[in-house]
Amino acid sequence: MAIKAGDRMPSGTLKTMTKDGPKDVKTDDLFKGKKVVLFSVPGAFTPTCDAKHLPGFVQLADQIHAKGVDSIACMAVNDVFVMNAWGKASGVADKIVMLADGNGDYAKALGLELDAKGYGMGTRGQRFAIIVKDGVAEQVNVEAAGQFKVSAAEHVLSQL
């Protein structure tokens, strides 16, 4: 069953790249005592994700942080090296934490996995944005198939 507003975020482990190499990120640590915007894309460097979704959060990061958000995190079912390269290519700097859900375990724990086998992409995560406060989902915005509206940075900003 998919996560909904009011639910506690599941525990899990994602990966991010540091200057010392890949590092595990425990979701309990990511969310504890913080307000976090977690958004997910079906894949790094894919058309909508690369041209609109991630750039929107990069452009509005300062405004989102000004609304009391401690961290903005981008998640995809890609490996940590791809997520790091995508972050560099997109100029995220320190505005967005790039998180790899390499095997799709966290997307599955959220109930938001996506069967993209028809596109040769295996199992991925759906396109979504969740506003999390101290480990609890306050807003859960999951896109309908082929849509890009409710998970966009502009929409998330309007909810803060």
Structural domain that includes position 42: 13-159
Asked, for residue 2, whether it belongs to a domain, the answer is: no
CB < 8 Å & 24+ apart, contacts of 27-34:
27/106, 28/135, 30/71, 30/73, 30/97, 31/132, 31/134, 31/135, 32/134, 32/135, 33/134, 34/70, 34/71, 34/132, 34/133, 34/134
Q: How confident is the model at residue 122 (pLDDT cuts 50, 70, 90)?
A: low
Query: How many residues would you count in the chain?
Result: 160
Q: How confident is the model at residue 121 (pLDDT cuts 50, 70, 90)?
A: confident
Residues 92-103 pLDDT 10s? 999 999 999 999
Please indicate whether residue 80 or residue 116 has the higher confidence score (pLDDT). Answer: 80
Whichever domain contains 38, its CATH number is 3.40.30.10
Whose structure tokens read 């409710």? 150
Asked, for residue 41, whether it belongs to a domain, the answer is: yes
Please indicate whether residue 121 or residue 50 has the higher confidence score (pLDDT). Answer: 50
Asked, for residue 21, whether it belongs to a domain, the answer is: yes
Asked, for residue 39, whether it belongs to a domain, the answer is: yes
Residues 24-75 pLDDT 10s? 999 999 999 999 999 999 988 877 878 789 999 999 999 999 999 999 999 9
Number of folded domains that form the chain: 1
Asked, for residue 76, whether it belongs to a domain, the answer is: yes
Asked, for residue 7, whether it belongs to a domain, the answer is: no
pLDDT attached to residue 130: 98
How large a percentage of the chain has pLDDT more than 70?
Answer: 98
Q: Which residues carry out catalysis? A: 49
Asked, for residue 8, whether it belongs to a domain, the answer is: no
Asked, for residue 1, whether it belongs to a domain, the answer is: no
Smallest Cα–Cα separation from 37: which of 83, 84, 76, 75? 75
pLDDT attached to residue 2: 93
Locate all alpha helices (DSSP H) within 50-152, ordered by sequence. Answer: 54-66, 80-89, 105-110
